[in-house]
Structure formats: C-alpha cells, structure tokens
Amino acid sequence: MPSPPQRLSQTVRKPQNKRLLASIHDVGPGSELAVLQLVDLLERRLGGPNFAMLVVPDHWGRHPLKADRAFQARLRAWSDRGIEMFVHGWFHKDMTEHADAAARFKAKHMTAGEGEFLGLDDATALARMLEGKALVEDVIGRESAGFIAPAWLYGEGARTALRKADFALCEDHWRVWDASTDAVLAKGPVITWASRSTMRTASSLAFAGLARAALGVLSTVRIAVHPGDVTKTSLLDSIDATLKRFAVTHRPARYAELRANP
C-alpha cells in the first residue's frame, strides 16, 4: 500500500530528474586563487561540491602539478569531498609548430592557441592522455572522471587515441559521450563565458541570457566556468544568475551518473 510520504517524494522528485552538470575548467597550481573563488560561487548556488573540475597537468609548460605538493593535497581534498576530476589536456596550449599554414592559422586564430589536441597525431595524443591520467589519478587516489580536450577541440589523432586511453567519459561543446563505446549520453550546447576580449565577453553574456530562457527544456544542462571569468564582474553576475536559474529546475549532478543511468 503506497504511503503518503512516498507519493509526496515522487511529486517532489519529478522535475529533479533533469540534471545540471557544472564544471570549473583549467584547474592547476597557476589558477588556484581564481579556482577558490569559483568553488565558493558554485558551492553557494549548488548546495555543496556538486560539480566537476578539469585539471591541466602542466599549464603552458609553466605550472607543473607534479612539482606542487601543496596543490596536489588541495586537489585530493576536493576529490575526497566528491568533486569529479577530469584530465584536461597536458599543456592546454598548442605547443607544436604547425607545418602547414592552414593548421597554423586555425590553431592560432580560432582557438587563441589553446587547442592542444587539435593537431596532435594519435601516438602523441595517446601518450599525453595516459600521462595525464596517471598523474591525476595518482594525486587524487581514485579513477579520473574522463578526458576533456582544451577548448573542447579534438583532432583525428585525439579521437583515435581516446578509444585506447580507457577514460570513462568525454565531452565537446555539443555532447557528452562514453569514451569506450562512443555512445552519446547528453546533448545540448554547454553554457560558458569568455573573458579574453570585450566582444567575446559581450557575446557570451548574450548567449547565457538566451540559454537561461531557452535551455530549460534540456534534460541535461551543462555550465562551464573558467579562471579568467573572475576578472570581470559582469561575467560573475551572469554565471551566478545562470546557476541560480537552473538550480531551480535541474538537480546538481555528477557526470558519472550519465553512464550509470543515461
């Protein structure tokens, strides 16, 4: 015989079947202060550590995680609290010299040089993925949540390497997929902000406004923030408004749930 409390809990849970996946990109020793600020903002709106971090093993070749024991301890503590940790490239920046002019143009002008995995051959991509996975998993003492390429950009080499690197999950700007089977687990554009030019900032604010009005229909909403976002009040306000809006209709969730219960 169904009891009233069960009926009540079903009523309450229904809209909460929609998921909100939030993440902080570009986490590493060089971005620590900005990340701490973003952690505060996300925890306040999401009611706890219900979000993911994307860890860069050696941002621009200048901030090696391997050499920073204090930051390793901080990362492990975040992971112990339930924050999912993705491997996010190795250098983040595209450090290779592109032989052909078209690839050089694309890398430089379309990604501000941040598309590290766009031009890598599969052997190099696989080596960096495996090294990043081993480092991050050693630091946090558990399996990483998956791999996400810098700027969400994957070249052919990166896509081939992903099938061999034994990551659980992967995402780009438009979808989340199972890295071992290529099965798509969530669809819809990620809501994110840009701080590096006035024009990009303006268009990202406009998109976030549209997203707040239109993307409530999605069963999984993704929100991604970056350390640079803390440099502009307009971005922090927009991020806060967006988190607040979706936390009403979408339950702050973990990426891992997508595999367990697509």
Minimum separation from the CB atom of position 106 to Zn ion (A):
17
The dihedral through the CA atoms of 129, 131, 135, 140 has a sign that is positive
Minimum separation from the CB atom of position 183 to Zn ion (A):
24
Minimum separation from the CB atom of position 262 to Zn ion (A):
26
The nearer residue to Zn ion, 112 or 127, going by C-beta atoms, is 112
The dihedral through the CA atoms of 164, 167, 171, 177 has a sign that is positive
Angle CA 117–122–125, to nearest 5: 40
The nearer residue to Zn ion, 25 or 245, going by C-beta atoms, is 25
Cα separations in angstroms, 119 against 84, 94, 98, 110, 143 = 27, 8, 8, 13, 27
Of the ranges 21-29, 96-104, 129-137, 191-199, which one interacts with Zn ion (CB under 5 A)? 21-29
Q: How far apart are CA 128 and CA 144, in angstroms?
A: 15
Minimum separation from the CB atom of position 117 to Zn ion (A):
11
The nearer residue to Zn ion, 25 or 222, going by C-beta atoms, is 25
| Sole binder of Zn ion in the list 26, 116, 171, 229 (CB under 5 A) | 26
Q: How far apart are CA 181 and CA 246, in angstroms?
A: 30
Picking from 224, 227, 144, 159, the residue whose alpha carbon sits closest to that of residue 189 is: 224
Minimum separation from the CB atom of position 150 to Zn ion (A):
5
Q: How far apart are CA 54 and CA 150, in angstroms?
A: 9
93 counts as binding Zn ion under rule CB under 5 A: no
| Sole binder of Zn ion in the list 29, 30, 57, 150 (CB under 5 A) | 150
Minimum separation from the CB atom of position 237 to Zn ion (A):
22
Total of chain residues touching Zn ion, rule CB under 5 A: 3
| Cβ–Cβ < 8 Å for 28, 229 | no
| Sole binder of Zn ion in the list 25, 45, 63, 93 (CB under 5 A) | 25
Q: How far apart are CA 91 and CA 197, in angstroms?
A: 22
Residue position matching structure tokens 């078209």: 102
Of the ranges 31-39, 76-84, 142-150, 228-236, which one interacts with Zn ion (CB under 5 A)? 142-150
Of the ranges 26-34, 76-84, 139-147, 186-194, which one interacts with Zn ion (CB under 5 A)? 26-34
**Footprint of Zn ion (CB under 5 A):** 25-26, 150
